[in-house]
Amino acid sequence: MKSNDDHHCIFCKIVRGEIPSARLIETETAIAFLDINPVCHGHTLLLPKAHHPVLAELSDELAGKVGALLPRLCRAVTAATGAEGLNVIVNSGRVAGQTIDHCHWHIIPRWSDDPVNWPWPHSQYSGDELEQMRFRIERELRA
């Protein structure tokens, strides 16, 4: 569903003011608020006000307007929490861990002794797989 509002979406309800939230910043196109089930205290969510289920459905212009708030929010979360670092994450699609189908960024303050396990496991390309992948993605960028 690609529309400006989804009446069943919890984030759209927050945008409309139907569900209370600990709002941090709001612009014409975006809103940021504290996650009520934080990974670490200070965990902030940033999202476009318009309903778009996954990141790839945002226009470049809208993504730029929402994303432009990230540095300011990161500075504020770091200063307010005393975090040693941050994870800024977008889970796009259920298989990637997205649990609410409204595109959003997580800003998660981190400390060296927090209980979050990181990094993810990594793999390597073999043979010409790297070049093949580069070619396929580059072709899609030109489409």
Query: Is residue 73 within 8 Å of 32, Cβ to Cβ?
Result: yes
- Whether 51 is a known active-site residue: answer no
Q: Which residues does 27 contact at the CB level (< 8 Å), separation at least 6?
A: 65, 69
> Rounded to 10 degrees, what is the CA torsion of 29, 106, 86, 56?
-70
The one catalytic residue among 51, 52, 102, 104: 104
List the structure tokens of 6: 């989804």
HSE at residue 31, side-chain half, CA atoms within 13 A, is 19
Looking at the annotation, which residues are catalytic?
104
